[in-house]
Chain A
Amino acid sequence: DQQVKQNSPSLSVQEGRISILNCDYTNSMFDYFLWYKKYPAEGPTFLISISSIKDKNEDGRFTVFLNKSAKHLSLHIVPSQPGDSAVYFCAAIYGGATNKLIFGTGTLLAVQP
């Protein structure tokens, strides 16, 4: 079941630069999308989300872009900080009565000082 895919297992970025994490999905019925950040030995922490009716959502240094025609979303972090180093998971959910989040495999972001 590869409905949500993160094709880059890792990404390394210099401090102060932009980090761009990508996510592709296959199911056009997803209602909204989320990004979670995960540090080692901790649970995923919600970062930002976007509804399928939007194409951009911004929260401070974090912006998520959604391209529905391409079934692609991306998370931009600018400027990147060493504390942003973590695994980033893209997740999607259908609308309606379901409660199930479908996660991608994650991208390990390393921000170099």
Chain B
Amino acid sequence: EPEVTQTPSHQVTQMGQEVILHCVPISNHLYFYWYRQILGQKVEFLVSFYNNEISEKSEIFDDQFSVERPDGSNFTLKIRSTKLEDSAMYFCASTPRQPSSYNSPLHFGNGTRLTVT
């Protein structure tokens, strides 16, 4: 079964540094997402991306965050200047149609654990 692939599995960075998290969504999917889960907390929506632009973002997704689909297969999340509170598991997800469509659940990758020291 096709999978969403995320790299690296674990990223350690120093506060203030830029990080880029990589994702390869499922190839025929059109909608792409980033979610995050701070340790012990719930999974939170960050951003959705469709047709080469952000379609929705949460209040967490401030100017320090950006997303890009640089080619036909990759989908990246960049954090420009990391803070301690950015430490979390970041999940990429994709779906072939809008997830509000009944039979279009999100397919998640295995996540990148980001540790900011």
Contact = CB atoms under 8 A, between A and B. Distances in A.
Contacts of A45: 108
Nearest to B107: A46
Interface residues of A, number: 28
A70 to B, nearest CB: 21
Interface in B43-82: 43-45, 48, 50, 55-56, 58
Interface of B: 4, 6, 9, 31, 33, 35, 41-45, 48, 50, 55-56, 58, 91, 93, 98-100, 102-103, 105-111
20 contacts: A32-B102, A41-B111, A43-B4, A43-B109, A44-B108, A49-B102, A49-B103, A51-B102, A89-B42, A89-B43, A94-B100, A95-B100, A96-B100, A97-B100, A99-B56, A100-B48, A101-B43, A101-B99, A103-B43, A106-B42
Given A46-B105, A99-B55, A102-B45, 18 more contacts: A36-B108, A42-B111, A43-B93, A44-B43, A44-B91, A45-B108, A46-B106, A46-B107, A89-B43, A93-B99, A99-B33, A99-B50, A99-B56, A100-B56, A101-B45, A103-B44, A104-B42, A105-B42
